[in-house]
Structure 1
Amino acid sequence: MTFEAARTGGTVGDVVAGADSTPIRGVKFVALTDLPALGFSLRFVKLAQAGWPEAGSYMGAKANIGL
């Protein structure tokens, strides 16, 4: 999976109240099978390995996709 990010302001790692609870501290490429060691759930890994079934559909809370 690939993400594109564009800085619009602020500092990497800053957390805006109400936006999220997990600050981004860095970016690196890892194998999907290594994601659980970085705090991602097995559900998230399985969804990624399956090619994101139902991508584009509202899935509800981020906990529903294993985050």
Structure 2
Amino acid sequence: MAREGKMNSAVAIHLTPQEQTALQKNVRSRKTSIRLIERSKIILLAADGLSNIEIAEQLNISAHKVGRW
């Protein structure tokens, strides 16, 4: 049960402007792998305060996958 609770909420993430810029570049780049783009999007959305479930719905992936990143 405790694990299930963790799955629902993303860890609070605070990005520096440089980190945010680097992640946004990953998302926009045509040379970035799909996996890295997905991870970057997860981190950016978590930094915006979204829960794992909200991130999963927005990216059309499982909350379990979001919880790993």
Which TM bucket (shorter chain)? 0.3 to 0.5
Give the structure, 1 or 2, with the largest relative contact order (CA under 8 Å, sep 6 or more).
2
Provide TM-score, normalisation by structure 2. 0.34
* Greater C-alpha radius of gyration: 1
Provide TM-score, normalisation by structure 1. 0.34
Structure 1 or 2: more helix by fraction? 2
